[in-house]
Amino acid sequence: MSVRRDTTGSYVLGLGGLTLAIFFVLSLLAPNFLTLANLNSMGSQFPEFGLLALAVLPTMISGGIDLSVVAVANLASIVAALILRAGPEYAWVAVPAALLLGLACGLLNGCLIAYLRLPPILATLGTLQLFGGIGIVITGGPAITGIPEWYGAFGNASIGGAVPVPLLVFVLVALGLGLVLRFTATGMRARLYGANPLAARFVGMPDKALILRIYAIAGVISALAGLVILARVNSANADYGGSYLLLVILINILAGVSPFGGSGTVVGIVLAVVTLQLISSGLNFLAFTAFARDLVFGGLLILVMAARVVADGGWIPRWRTRRAKGTPA
């Protein structure tokens, strides 16, 4: 059995250099790019899909994936919107209720994967449809409006006129998740389990409890993303963010998260989110269409995956693709 070289640190450094290079080039090509208004606008836009990318990160590190994050965010925003619209005396219940809903959705995903042994991609694809369907049944189709103005002001407010509140939420969640993944038993076990689930079971790692915790974290962060979305757009819709899922997967791949588990960092996610936001805003400034942006993002995904395969000598661990010499087929 061979061991892969861990190139995560050098990859993140390279991604940081790419982010700075893109920022520098766009500053030269679009003089208005560096204005405070544009920077503030970007800081308000990316936290919602940045939070969703953070939600997916621990599931991919553990060797799984969560395709239901956008649906969980929308369902949480719908529940919060209904409570906020019910009257000011119920406003304090909205945020806890949305987060508890996210926790319940995450635990459902975890139970399907841990106890029924469903493949994560199929389990969360099913709950993606389930949660989306529940949202449509609750709303009847149209978006929920009439959210109190004070809640909408939260999504568009800035601290000191320079730091958007959603950006502050994203930074705090990124710091918290980074600490969990780096310094807690859950984070370390998630990496070990993602790198080699069979060995993790042989050494007695409580894999079912670990999977439940991982997907519960994903559900809560997804619900928080839904609360940020609700505050920014001042409405809740079961179909919001239809393109976010592919964007979130792209962010994780660009951040150097292995699709087979075992590696990935919060720093990489933050850099990837900023990089894609810079590219998206730069293309808008240079008058490119949305189709050109999709072309750039698709090409970037292929390029990054190819470069990472070359750097790692292959992304798939050899113990998963080759039998030991002499082992019968």
Domain boundaries, the chain: 35-241
pLDDT for the residue 68: 96
Instruction: Specify the amino acid at residue 123.
Output: A
- Please measure the distance between the N-terminal and C-terminal CA atoms of the chain and give it in whole angstroms: 16
pLDDT for the residue 326: 44
Instruction: Specify the amino acid at residue 156.
Output: N
What is the pLDDT confidence band of residue 324, given thresholds at 50, 70 and 90? very low
129 alpha carbon, distance to own chain's centre? 18
- pLDDT tens digits for range 204-259: 788 899 999 999 999 999 999 999 999 988 899 998 988 888 889 889 988 988 88
Helix H or strand E segment including 146: none
DSSP 324: P
- pLDDT tens digits for range 136-187: 999 988 889 888 888 888 888 888 767 888 999 999 999 999 999 999 999 9
Torsion angle, CA of 203/209/210/214, rounded to 10 degrees? Answer: 170
pLDDT for the residue 314: 54
Please give the Cα distance from 233 to 155 (Å, whole number): 8
Please give the Cα distance from 263 to 66 (Å, whole number): 16
- The crossing angle, in degrees rounded to 10, of helices 207-233 and 69-86 is 50
Taking a C-beta distance cutoff of 8 angstroms, is the pair 226, 77 a contact? yes
Nearest residue to 236 (alpha-carbon basis) of 135, 166, 157? 135
**What is the residue whose two structure tokens read 């970037």?**
300
pLDDT for the residue 1: 40
Q: How many CB atoms lie within 10 A of CB 79?
A: 25
Q: Average model confidence (pLDDT) for the chain?
A: 85
Please give the Cα distance from 155 to 50 (Å, whole number): 15
- The crossing angle, in degrees rounded to 10, of helices 8-29 and 266-285 is 20
Instruction: Specify the amino acid at residue 87.
Output: G
- % of the chain surpassing 70 pLDDT: 89
Taking a C-beta distance cutoff of 8 angstroms, is the pair 198, 42 a contact? no
Q: What are phi and psi of 236, to 5 degrees?
A: -130, 135
- pLDDT tens digits for range 78-87: 999 999 998 8
H helix intervals, the chain: 8-29, 36-61, 69-86, 91-114, 120-139, 149-156, 165-183, 185-195, 197-202, 207-233, 244-254, 266-285, 290-312, 318-321
